[in-house]
Amino acid sequence: MDARGLGFRALIGVSALGVVLAVVGTFGTLSKPTGLPRASILFITVDTLRRDYVGVYGAPWPITPAIDRVAGRGFVFEQVLATASWTPPTMASLLYGGTPLEHGVYDWDTPPAGGTVSWPRWLGRQYGYQTVFFTNHPGLAAPALGIAAQFDTVVFLGDPWMPAERLTDAVLQWLRRRTSSRPLLLWVHYLDPHEPYDAPSPWPEYWRANTAEPWLLPMNLSVCPVELYFGENCVPPYLWPHLDRNEYQPDRLATRYRADIAYTDYHVGRLVKGVVGRWDRPRQRWIVSITADHGQVIVRERPDGTRIFFSHGTYLFDELLWVPWVLADTHRPMSTQRIDILVSQTDIPPTVLAWAGLDPPPAWRGFALWREDRWQSHRAWATAWELRVPAAAVHTGKQKLWVAPGQVLYLALDDRPLRDEAPDPAFETIVHRLRQAMARMHDGGRPVPLPSDLKAQLQQLGYVGP
Ligand SMILES: [Zn+2]
């Protein structure tokens, strides 16, 4: 196997703050482990965590030392795309595999399509794992999403919402009382970086910006017509009662967002330490995976000239779709290895399982990343709504196709329009079919599974999994 031929590059981190030395990595480090004890898996998802706000991805603020420490012991996946820009579809992709067009979860009340098998259930049935899910995100208790039925134990803390500190305490307390010796899948989802930005003191004070000229918003704010929409002069209804008008300025909000991330990262660090113990003398073999469901828009100009602030769920901008993902194993020590191949969120569980020496559910839609036959043609695919209109984005890593009713955009990285470059010819062949699929998806507001012929075409092009 030839690492270069697979577009595989490894960088070895030589300092915690990311001074890196490029070397050509060996494919061998991604081979399936042999002779290691059965691993337990700590699977952490952090809500609304932008990739570029994480230190190991180059964030200029030291707000994620705990995540960076895990990254320092394993893999940093540099190009990971969320399958949508908000929680229900992306959590469904992480739980059941596939894109929203495949699993059929678009909203809190759209259940997964028939035949979907979650990997926690599979782990319990096939390999005897005990499976546990903890979160402080009250929305994840939505029955349609089905989380409660996919784990042996599910703990929804919240409503009223409880902060990351309490969530972490609850997980660690549960772990101390646990008597089972079965291997464990422990999935913890932190909501905290999600707005409203309300990290407890001293985090906001500590991270308060020193920016001289905050960008003042008009003070004639009103409630937006759409639940999740932040507009030029409006904020979503659920934020309205909590709004401090003096704080509703992008620079201040960005600072509070960073404070929320720093606060969450601190408790992620407590969790990892409490679960794993000392990395050089772990209590047992643990694989630790940390990723996000989606990113966050800070400020964006829309095509019609209006601006949006602090939003997700209704757009497909790159900062919403790129998510961080780090993976480390107590029994395979290494320094940071950066992997720059394009990865879909749906590839994360099968890769974690393969790293643990386990197979994913047979019908899982996503790849273990060292299946080289898949890498070469792999493209990531993301779908979401813009203001509840079906819209889809397809990434090649260098270019992005964005399709919505009446609009097709060919974009370069960071959502810049392509100028001198020609669009990827593969895009042309799928635009028409995408529009058809989305038009049907819109019918009656119910999800429609990906039509089999479109799916076959997309598979041939490498855009979707088996
Ligand atoms: Zn979310």
Distance of CA 61 to the CA centre of its chain: 21
* Cα–Cα distance measured from residue 392 to residue 173, given in angstroms and rounded to the nearest whole number: 42
Rounded to the nearest angstrom, the distance between the alpha carbon of 436 and the centre of ligand 1 is: 28
> What is d(CA 439, CA 448) in angstroms, rounded to the nearest whole number?
10
Nearest to 142 by CA among 109, 120, 168: 109
pLDDT at 206: 63
Query: Contacts from 14-20 at CB under 8 Å and sequence distance 24+?
Result: 14/335, 16/65, 16/68, 16/69, 16/72, 17/55, 17/62, 18/55, 18/56, 18/58, 20/336, 20/338
**In this model, does residue 340 exceed pLDDT 80?**
yes
Q: Is the pLDDT of residue 275 over 90?
A: yes
Domain annotation for the chain: domains and CATH numbers? 4-378 (3.40.720.10)
Distance 330 CA to ligand 1 centre (A): 28
pLDDT band (50, 70, 90) for residue 134 = very high
- Does this model's pTM top 0.85? My answer is no
Three-point CA angle 109, 114, 119, nearest 5°:
90
Predicted pLDDT of residue 177: 97
Give the distance (Å) from ligand 1 centre to CA of residue 194: 7
pLDDT at 254: 82
DSSP of 92-103: HHHHH-S-HHHH
How close is the Cα of 293 to the center of ligand 1, in Å? 5
Q: Nearest CA to 207 among 63, 75, 326?
A: 63
pLDDT confidence tier of residue 193, bands split at 50, 70 and 90: very high
Ligand 1 centroid–CA 238 distance in Å is 15
Report, as an integer, the average pLDDT of 146-153: 96
59-73, 233-247, 298-312, 369-383: which has the minimum mean pLDDT?
369-383
Q: How confident is the model at residue 30 (pLDDT cuts 50, 70, 90)?
A: low
| Distance of CA 147 from the midpoint of ligand 1 (Å) | 15
Q: Ligand 1 centroid to 314 CA: how many Å?
A: 12
**Dist CA 429 CA 66 (whole Å):** 44
For the chain, give the mean pLDDT.
Answer: 78
The two tokens of residue 28 are 């061998």
- In single-letter form, the type of residue at position 304 comes to D
- Looking at the DSSP bridge assignments, the partners of residue 138 are none
Check residue 304 and give its pLDDT: 63
Tell me the two tokens of residue 234: 């409006």
CA–CA dist 454, 102 (Å, integer)? 11
**How many A from CA of 86 to the centre of ligand 1?**
5
Mean pLDDT check: name the lowest of 51-55, 71-75, 214-218, 455-459. 214-218
Select the more confidently predicted residue: 57 or 422: 57
Q: Tell how far the Cα of 258 is from the centroid of ligand 1, in angstroms.
A: 16
294 CA from centroid of ligand 1 (Å):
6
Burial class (CB in 10 A: 0-12, 13-18, 19+), 301: exposed
The Å distance, Cα 85 to ligand 1 centre, comes to 8
